[in-house]
């Protein structure tokens, strides 16, 4: 079996597994959420009928128009349930938070531009901001790979004599545990305390959905009425999201390195995780010596001359 044929077969298998995974998720979500949706819809219809029966003077069409207007306003982050003069969805802190979620592709959707000009500017702003954000994250993580990945792995190999498979596996597990504690468990505890209506599970769910850039928008921090220090809170969450995205990217890079060492990328014919030459030179224990990799054993009978020395 040729390498190209094997690569095509593996790619086809991966695509089929991915489609099956999507179908499986759709079936599970439909089974879990559809009954609850029907229950909420029934409650709304019952509440509507009770309101009409108790107040016969209400016009049904006017009521339905009011409900539709409320739903549309809620889609843009405007709610009748809170005092609109208390804070704005477009003050400096909120606008900064929106800009951050836009260029990081988290996009909660709780606040969206109302004007056509704002929509057009969002397109241009994201068109430039998304790749620029990815560039900044890549540059920061590239600088962190040496002190947080290459040096620890090289140090463990020199000190304990570990095989590269062992050193990289231990490093990835420890990094994953550290990121889980620092960027998921601890922030979830803090959010569950600050956001009084959030349980720990809901706060942990928010952290995971945000740092994976899924951004469903069902939980957004700083949106409760009478939120204390709301501008500072919004900016703090924005910093947490950016640093958390760096940590997630670092985990992905480390996993890619682990896959290279374990031979998974070669098995699936995927590109390896390439680093800068400076980082490779800083960790000679991780990569084989250039002379050992690129040269052939010398022939004992070969005669050495000055002409054979490269200048």
Domain ranges within the chain, ordered by starting residue: 1-75, 86-273
Query: From the DSSP assignment, how many helices (H) and strands (E) are in the chain?
Result: 12, 0
* CA–CA dist 84, 225 (Å, integer): 10
Answer whether residue 300 shows pLDDT above 50. Answer: no
The torsion angle over the Cα atoms of residues 20, 24, 27 and 28, rounded to 10 degrees, is -170
* CA–CA dist 294, 286 (Å, integer): 16
Q: Catalogue the long-range contacts made by 301-305 (C-beta closer than 8 Å, 24 or more residues apart).
A: none
What's the mean pLDDT when you consider all of the chain?
78
List pLDDT tens digits, range 170-218.
999 999 999 999 999 999 999 999 998 899 999 999 999 999 999 888 8
Span 77-89, average pLDDT: 57
| Between residues 90 and 275, the one the model is more confident about | 90
CA-nearest of 63, 89, 65 to 75 is: 89
List Cβ neighbours of 233 (8 Å cut-off, separation of 6 or more): 194, 221, 222, 227
Instruction: Give DSSP secondary structure letters for 31-55.
Output: HHHHHHHHHHHHHHHHHHHHHHHH-
Fold of domain 86-273: Helix Hairpins (1.10.287)
List pLDDT tens digits, range 242-296.
999 999 999 999 998 888 888 877 777 677 776 444 444 444 444 444 334 444 4
What is this structure's pTM?
0.70
Q: Do residues 115 and 247 touch, judged by C-beta distance below 8 A? A: no
Quick one: DSSP state of residue 308? G
Percentage with pLDDT > 90 across the chain: 23
List Cβ neighbours of 126 (8 Å cut-off, separation of 6 or more): 102, 103
Span 103-129, average pLDDT: 86
For the chain, the residue count is: 311
pLDDT of residue 73: 64
Task: Average the pLDDT over each of 55-59, 72-76, 224-228 and give the range with the smallest value.
Answer: 72-76
Quick one: DSSP state of residue 307? G
CA-nearest of 208, 205, 202 to 183 is: 208
pLDDT of residue 180: 95
Structure tokens at 208: 């995971």
pLDDT of residue 87: 64
Task: Average the pLDDT over each of 191-195, 237-241, 304-308 and give the range with the smallest value.
Answer: 304-308
Tokens 């988290």 locate to 106
| Between residues 63 and 13, the one the model is more confident about | 13
């Amino acid at each position: 079996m040729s390498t190209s044929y094997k690569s095509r077969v593996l790619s086809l298998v991966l695509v089929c597994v991915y489609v099956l995974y999507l179908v499986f998720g759709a079936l599970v979500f439909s089974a879990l959420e559809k009954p609850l949706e029907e229950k909420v819809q029934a409650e709304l219809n019952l509440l509507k009928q009770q309101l009409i029966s108790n107040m016969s003077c209400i016009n049904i069409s006017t009521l339905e128009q009011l409900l539709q207007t409320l739903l549309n306003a809620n889609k843009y982050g405007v709610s009748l349930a809170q005092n609109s003069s208390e804070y704005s969805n477009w003050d400096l802190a909120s606008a900064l938070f929106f800009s951050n979620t836009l260029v990081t592709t988290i996009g909660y959707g709780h606040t969206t531009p109302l004007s056509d000009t704002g929509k057009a500017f969002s397109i241009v702003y994201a068109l430039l901001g998304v790749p620029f954000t990815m560039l900044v994250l890549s540059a920061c993580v590239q600088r962190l790979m040496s002190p947080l990945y290459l040096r620890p792995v090289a140090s463990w190999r020199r000190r304990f004599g570990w095989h590269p498979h062992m050193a990289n596996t231990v490093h990835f597990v420890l990094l994953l545990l550290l990121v889980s504690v620092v960027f998921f468990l601890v922030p979830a505890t803090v959010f569950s305390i600050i956001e009084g209506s959030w349980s720990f599970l809901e706060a942990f769910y928010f952290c995971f959905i945000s740092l994976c850039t899924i951004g469903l928008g069902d939980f957004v921090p700083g949106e409760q009425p009478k939120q204390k220090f709301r501008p500072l809170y919004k900016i703090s969450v924005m910093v947490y999201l950016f640093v958390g995205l760096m940590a997630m990217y670092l985990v992905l890079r480390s996993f890619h390195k682990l896959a290279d060492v374990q031979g998974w990328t070669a098995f699936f014919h995927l590109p390896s995780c390439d680093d800068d030459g400076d980082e490779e030179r800083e960790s000679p224990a991780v990569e084989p010596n250039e002379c050992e990799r690129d040269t052939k054993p010398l022939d004992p009978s070969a005669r050495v001359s000055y002409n054979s020395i490269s200048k």
